[in-house]
Amino acid sequence: MSKKQIEECVRTSLDAYFRDLCGTEPDGMYEMMIRTVEKPLLEVVLKQAEHNQSKAAEWLGLNRNTLRKKLVEHKLIK
């Protein structure tokens, strides 16, 4: 899947989200979207990196400590 296909998937999902709101104004969308996308991103990358946090952090362009903090926030590690 290309970057463009991922962008289109997000765009389509957001259009559906707004339709489902039926005119109600959203609140805190940015944080909601980041948290919604971040958890599966971390899960998949960590799995592909065979749970090697250093490798996953490198692939994500994050500091390993930042990755660990995010993994704890999403309850993916203790």
> Which domains does the chain possess?
3-73 (1.10.10.60)
For residues 5 and 30, give the distance between their C-alpha atoms in angstroms, rounded to a whole number.
21
CA distance 33 to 71: 17
What value does the mean pLDDT take over residues 64-74?
Answer: 97
pLDDT at 15: 96
Summarised one tens digit per residue, pLDDT across range 15-50 is 999 999 999 999 999 999 999 999 999 999 999 999
Please determine, for residue 64, whether its predicted confidence score (pLDDT) is greater than 90.
yes
CB 38 within 8 A of CB 71: no
Q: Is the pLDDT of residue 1 over 90?
A: no
The closest alpha carbon to 36, from 4, 63, 9, belongs to 9
Binned at pLDDT 50, 70 and 90, residue 59 comes out as very high
Residue found under tokens 């899947």? 1
